[in-house]
Amino acid sequence: MQIAVITGGSSGIGQSAAFEVAKRGVGVILTYHGNRDGGLETAERIEKDGGTAVALPLDVGRPDTFADFATDVREVLQRWGRTSFDFLVNNAGVGQQPVRFEDTTEELFDQMLRVHLKGPYFLTQTLLPLIADGGSIVYTSSTSALANTRPEPGYSVYASMKGAQVVLTRYLAKELSVRGIRVNAVAPGVTRTRLGDDAFARYPELIPPIADRTALGRIGEPDDLGKVIAFLLSPDGAWITAQTLEASGGYDL
């Protein structure tokens, strides 16, 4: 059985990706940080639907914990009789309220750096010996990092870190190609998730203006992105590497 490690799998895009790959017969190791109940419930639902899943705690902003996490992954892999896994989805992240460049603090910069760049970078490095040859890695980036999207004032830090993920994707795809490991990124547009303190649930009036800027006339849902991630991991995406696939419904088109 193939195995996927999905960070931030307790809700939103990561949770949807976990459900989608599990439907395809892939065992899932998902992580949670601030939402333990969501992580356990995700694993339980996968098991109830006939799949196999384990939820583990992980703070992607704490690289000093990654060696211990790798040890936990090795132990969990024994459940499937494996010593390696096949897919890594670097999805965990935090949202950011808009902050003007001149008001951006070093604290905010460092938080975005740890969670969106340093964490995924060194987590991938730490887990790389456990990723099977011919495997696949996906980063969840953002349309805010893409040249075709109109910049929104207040997101210079978040977009910069997501842009760095796009660059990292290309360089890792080159370096890891010697092992047949594909590396891609998915760039969601505005998506209904728990980030931003469930902003869309609390402020539904924010949705119509965003939907008006989206060619397909709505905001994204986690399932829209979970399916794209599952595709990039699957044999159907076997000839795709070094790419950032925008999945935004035509945001700002």
Note the pLDDT tens digit of each residue in 2-54: 999 999 999 999 999 999 999 999 999 999 998 999 999 999 999 999 999 99
Q: What is the Cα–Cα distance from 166 to 63, expressed in whole angstroms?
A: 20
Note the pLDDT tens digit of each residue in 51-98: 999 999 999 999 999 999 999 999 999 999 999 999 999 999 998 889
Note the pLDDT tens digit of each residue in 117-165: 999 999 999 999 999 999 999 999 999 999 998 898 999 999 999 999 9
What whole-number percentage of the chain has pLDDT above 90? 88
Residue 163: C-alpha distances to residues 35, 62, 110, 112 (Å)? 27, 21, 16, 12
pLDDT bracket for residue 205 (50, 70, 90): confident
Q: By the 8 A CB rule, do 84 and 132 touch? A: yes
Q: What is the Cα–Cα distance from 165 to 172, expressed in whole angstroms?
A: 10
**Domains of the chain by range and CATH?**
3-247 (3.40.50.720)
Model confidence at 218: pLDDT above 90: yes
Q: What is the Cα–Cα distance from 33 to 12, expressed in whole angstroms?
A: 13
CA 56 to chain centre: 16
Residue 74: C-alpha distances to residues 14, 60, 81, 95, 132 (Å)? 21, 18, 10, 30, 13
Residue holding tokens 């703070």? 59
Positions marked catalytic: 158
Query: Using alpha carbons only, what angle is made at residue 213 by residues 226 and 89, rounded to the nearest 5 degrees?
Result: 20
